[in-house]
């Protein structure tokens, strides 16, 4: 063992051309800088958070109490509350109040529709669900995800668990970043989903099924158009 290592280290300096060594030093420096940049970006992301998870949970519970089993009524309630809680000028946030802007969402094998209420570089807030039921992979994200059930139930499970987790209206299914589960919205479910972290990193998962499965280009176009429009509106008022 020791002998062969000596042999290779003794030979290498003559065999490896200088510029190969330089190239590798360059690559190592590049990766080190990339890691440093990522950990710096990770440490500053919460500077721009506007929404507060306990507050959103309260709003969701209040909406459920005000319009039980009526998702449209809940969404109206949530929008009325959010638009008065976060007036653009005071809170540096832009909300999309046009709830006719629903688009399909196909991701991780699950299918539903979503209405994007807020999208910025570090946060999004959407209503997601389907009256038909769906099942799939949550995705493995760099953002924390708070899934507030409004109607129906969401079931979830992680490898190793032999029993499912069950989330009913008024519950929050919190999925910390870096964790993934199988989930099912059995017989249909709608939820208010809030994610915080570097949102653009979630997009490849959100859009991949379009390219590998649905090829639904109009949906892709509207999803990108609405997301980009909301992110830009927010950037223009200083909301990263």
Ligand X SMILES: *[C@@H]1O[C@H](CO)[C@@H](O)[C@H](O)[C@H]1NC(C)=O
Instruction: Summarize as ranges the residues that interact with ligand X (CB under 6 A).
Output: 58-59, 62, 81, 84-85
> Measured from the CB of residue 62, what is the shortest distance to ligand X in angstroms?
4
User: What are the CA-CA distances from residue 58 to residues 52, 108, 139, 171, 182 (Å)?
Assistant: 10, 29, 26, 10, 26
Beta-sheet strands, E only, within 120-158: 123-130, 134-137, 144-152, 154-157
Which tokens belong to 145?
């995800």
In the complex, what is the shortest distance from the CB of residue 176 to ligand X, in angstroms, rounded to a whole number? 24
- Tell me the closest approach of the beta carbon of residue 146 to ligand X, in angstroms: 15
- Strand bridging mode 110-119 / 144-152: unpaired
Q: How far is the CB of 174 from ligand X (least distance, A)?
A: 18
Of 19 and 84, nearer to ligand X (C-beta) is: 84
Instruction: Name the residue nearer to ligand X (CB basis): 107 or 191.
Output: 191
Q: In this chain, which residue has its C-beta nearest to ligand X?
A: 58
Distances, alpha carbon 50 to alpha carbons 62, 170, 177, in Å: 20, 22, 18
- For the chain, the C-alpha Rg in angstroms (whole number) is 23
Instruction: Considering the complex, state which of residue 88 and residue 219 has its C-beta at the smaller distance from ligand X.
Output: 88
Residue 78 or residue 143: which is nearer to ligand X going by CB?
Answer: 78
């Amino acid at each position: 063992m020791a002998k062969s290592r000596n042999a290779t280290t003794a030979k290498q300096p003559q065999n490896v051309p200088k510029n190969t060594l330089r190239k590798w030093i360059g690559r190592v420096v590049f990766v080190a800088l990339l890691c440093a940049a990522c950990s710096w970006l990770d440490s500053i992301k919460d500077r721009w958070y506007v929404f507060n998870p306990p507050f959103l949970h309260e709003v969701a519970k209040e909406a459920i109490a005000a319009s039980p089993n009526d998702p449209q009524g809940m969404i109206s309630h949530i929008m009325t509350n959010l638009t008065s809680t976060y007036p653009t000028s005071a809170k540096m946030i832009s909300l999309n109040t046009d709830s006719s802007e629903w688009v399909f969402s196909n991701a991780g094998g699950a299918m539903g529709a979503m209405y994007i209420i807020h999208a910025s570089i570090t946060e999004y807030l959407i209503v997601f669900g389907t009256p038909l039921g769906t099942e799939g992979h949550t995705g493995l994200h760099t953002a924390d995800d708070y899934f507030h059930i409004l109607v129906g139930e969401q079931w979830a499970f992680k490898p190793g668990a032999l029993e499912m987790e069950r989330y009913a209206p008024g519950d929050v299914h919190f999925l910390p970043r870096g964790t993934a589960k199988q989930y099912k919205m059995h017989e249909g479910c709608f939820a208010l989903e809030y994610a915080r972290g570097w949102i653009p990193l979630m997009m490849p998962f959100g859009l991949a099924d379009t390219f590998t499965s649905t090829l639904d280009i109009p949906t892709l176009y509207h999803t990108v158009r609405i997301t980009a429009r909301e992110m830009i509106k927010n950037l223009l008022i200083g909301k990263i």
